[in-house]
Amino acid sequence: MKFAKVLQQTLIEEDIPEEWVEAAIQYKVLKKCIGKVVKELEFLGLSKADRKLLLQDSTTSNTVELDDDETQPNNPVVAKYFLAKSRRSNEVIPYLKIAIDERAREQLSHDRFQRLARLIKEKVEKALASDEEGQKIVEVKEQDDELVLSPTTSNTGEEVVQVNENEIVIMLGSDLKFFGTLNSELENLDRITQEEEVRLVQQIDKIADEVLLFTTKKSDLYNWRELFKIYLDSEIFFRYNETSSKSSERGAEQIRANLKTFASRIDQTQVLERMSKKKSLAAYRHFYDLNERLFKILQFQSINTTALRKILKKFDKQTSLNVSARFPALISSDHIFMTGSSIAQTICGIMQTKLLTLVPQIDDYSCPICVGIAYKPIRLLCGHVFCVRCLVKMKHRGKTDCPMCRSSNAIALADSSNLDVEAMQIIKRSFPIEVKEKLKESDKERYKEVVNSKGCVIA
């Protein structure tokens, strides 16, 4: 199936919002522009074979303007196609620069070069016949449904183009429209991305306020913890939830599958049925809708990225003007759609910071030794955290180094000032059941120590 149909079908089947569809890359319109560019090149006498002959090594050049020593042609006919940016705006200005060395033309043995040189020279001289100032920039225009070559009437080319002796510059009308349309569409995609990012951040803030309110009750606190743990374990948008690494970002099909798995696991655990408030259920739906919206944005970005790549590839195939790498490089800094951080990275990062941390996971507050909640957490000088009881036990056994990193005397040097007060408050507030269980276990151990003790008892 042709890509134009695939693009249209995807936008319909994925239920992309109408506003987004209007901002999408207009693949069919751009294809028509390419056809007109080809006609303008053929009007100049440059067939596809001729263009390949003249422009075959231009893929290695990203130069916007030539230096004096670069403009001296080594061959009687040298053509290069350039993309420049306006100094006053982000407008992309394409132009074809051709150098004709009349003195060396007769020495050429290649008939095609001679024919092209003569044809281009005659066309340009005819177009510039009435030009008294010796202007060397001409443009192809459509006049009365016919293409004509005439001196440029605008200063667009003059703004960025330097023309030297034995050179002429030809401005094509349709390629200017092609790149202008494409640049404008990328601006629309930037706008959609920015607007959606703001919208999703607002949604995260709203859901965070709701979750914070609901989790004041122990039952919903544990239900939301279970829900968020299932969400994190599902790794929907990133492998291992590494949102700082774009390389770990999931593909569209994997995200779709992970979202379904997440919803399925929520149903299986019946965590929603255990929620005490209808508003808590509504907050979950808002949370799930947020993830679906983010997924839809990523789909939209993906199909437009593919459309951009394919339309530039088609431009090169039809025109031999070699812009697939140069155009993105030229305008990349102007468009967050192309070089900005992934919206998935941004939104998932904010979600983790503002929402998921509201209900801490027990793994983040567990003692590495007893694997239970690190009640009365002691943070050693090396940074590792353990429950006070485990550290006291280790100290009584004569072990004074950190059991994680072997930092020398880290346990021996710890005292009451090493109590992580902030973590202690979070543990008391967020893990009341685990703290109660921990205290029971401590009481049992203390009782056994009292019964069997021949010496001191661990308090």
Residue pLDDT, tens place only, 115-166: 776 777 777 777 766 555 556 788 888 888 888 888 876 666 566 677 777 7
pLDDT bucket at 190, cuts 50 / 70 / 90: very high
Alpha-carbon distance of 29 to 32, in angstroms, equals 5
What is the pLDDT, as a whole number, of residue 177? 93
CA distance 272 to 220: 10
pLDDT surpasses 50 at 280: yes
> Mean pLDDT score of the chain, rounded to an integer?
85
User: CA torsion, points 253, 257, 262, 264, in degrees to nearest 10?
Assistant: 150
Question: For the domain with range 363-453, which CATH number is right: 3.40.50.300, 3.50.50.60, 3.30.40.10, 3.40.50.150?
Answer: 3.30.40.10
Number of C-beta neighbours around residue 93 at 10 A? 22
pLDDT at 333 over 90: no
Per-residue pLDDT for 113 more than 90?
no
What is the 3 state secondary structure string of the chain?
CCHHHHHHHHHHHCCCCHHHHHHCCCHHHHHHHHHHHHHHHHHCCCCHHHHHHHHCCHHHCCCCCCCHHHCCCCCCEEEEEEEEECCCCCCEEEEEEEEECHHHHCCCCCHHHHHHHHHHHHHHHHHCCCCCCCCCEEEEEEECCEEEEEECCCCHHHHHCCCCCCEEEEECHHHHHHHHHHHHHHHHHHHHHHHHHHHHHHHHHHHHHHHHHHCCCHHHHHHHHHHHHHHHHHCCCEHHHCCCCHHHECCHHHHHHHHHHHHHHHHHHCCCCCCCCHHHHHHHHHHHHHHHHHHHHHHHHHHHHHHHHHHHHHHHHHHCCCCCCHHHHHHHHHCHHHHCCCHHHHHHHHHHHHCHHHCCCHHHHECCCCCCECCCEEECCCCCEEEHHHHHHHHHCCCCCCCCCCCCCCCCCCCHHHECHHHHHHHHHHCHHHHHHHHHHHHHHHHHHHHHCCCCCCC
What pLDDT was estimated at residue 448?
81
How far from 385 is each of 54, 131, 404, 426, CA to CA, in Å? 69, 83, 10, 14
pLDDT category of residue 293 using cuts at 50, 70 and 90 = very high
In 3D space, the residue among 455, 429, 434, 430 whose CA is nearest the CA of residue 387 turns out to be 434
Phi, psi of 78 (to 5 degrees): -130, 125
pLDDT per residue over 377-414, tens digit each? 999 999 999 999 999 999 999 999 999 999 999 999 99
Instruction: Give the pLDDT confidence of 58-76 residue by residue, as tens digits.
Output: 444 433 333 334 334 444 4
Instruction: Give the pLDDT band of residue 104 (cuts 50, 70, 90).
Output: very low
pLDDT band at 56 (very low <50, low <70, confident <90, very high): low
Each residue's pLDDT tens digit, 402-449: 999 999 999 999 999 999 999 999 999 999 999 999 999 988 888 887
Contact of 154 with 302, CB cutoff 8 Å: no
Determine if the pTM surpasses 0.95: no
280 within 8 A of 207, measured Cβ to Cβ = no
Residue 374: pLDDT over 80: yes
Q: What is the mean pLDDT of residues 25-38?
A: 95
Least confident of 88-97, 150-159, 206-215, 317-326: 150-159
pLDDT at 253 over 70: yes
Q: What is the pLDDT of residue 150?
A: 82
Cα–Cα distance measured from residue 215 to residue 113, given in angstroms and rounded to the nearest whole number: 79
Q: What percent of the chain has pLDDT over 70?
A: 86
Angle between the 343-354 and 278-319 helix axes, to the nearest 10 degrees? 160
Between 102 and 315, the higher pLDDT residue? 315
Mean pLDDT on 299-323: 94
**Boundaries of every domain in the chain:** 45-59+73-171, 179-359, 363-453
